[in-house]
Amino acid sequence: MTTIFVKLLANAVALSAAVWLVNDITLGEPGESTGGKAVTLLIVALIFGVVNIVVKPIVKFFALPLLIVTLGLFTLVINALMLLLTDWISGDKFEVEGFGSAVLGGLIISIVSWAVNLILDRD
């Protein structure tokens, strides 16, 4: 149970870092309260986690030849696609404007999520 909570918290921190660093990634409605944005962030982090658990392995399996040829760099494109899928599922609560922003956001999310998991996961 704590592992799920740690992953959810890591996704939330990583998504908030991407929202903060990339101008074309927005969270919540304009003028929404801080509490409302925090709840929205947790919901989007949960959606992002489910997308990464369910869809990402399937996409990686079918993209395996590209992953081998590019020595794993195609993972950046897969991460961007997962971020865009999260945008589509979450509706107006989370917006990613363009593929370039999704690639940059996916890179930031990967790095921050790795660092937070490294710090918080003490099994």
The per-residue pLDDT for 28 is: 80
With a cut of 80, say whether residue 41 has pLDDT above it: yes
Q: Identify the H or E element spanning 25.
A: strand 25-27
Rounded CA gap, 76 and 97, in Å? 17
Query: What is the rounded average pLDDT for all residues in the chain?
Result: 90
Tell me, what amino acid is at 46?
Answer: L
Q: What is the pTM of this model?
A: 0.89
Mean pLDDT, residues 38-63 = 93
Report whether pLDDT(24) > 70.
yes
Strand partners for 27: 94
In angstroms, what CA-CA distances link 47 with 43, 96, 109, 119, 122?
Answer: 6, 15, 14, 23, 24
Please report, for the chain, the start and end positions of each structural domain, with discontinuous segments joined by +. 1-121
Q: Can you give the pLDDT at residue 77? A: 94
Q: What is the average per-residue pLDDT within 76-101?
A: 93
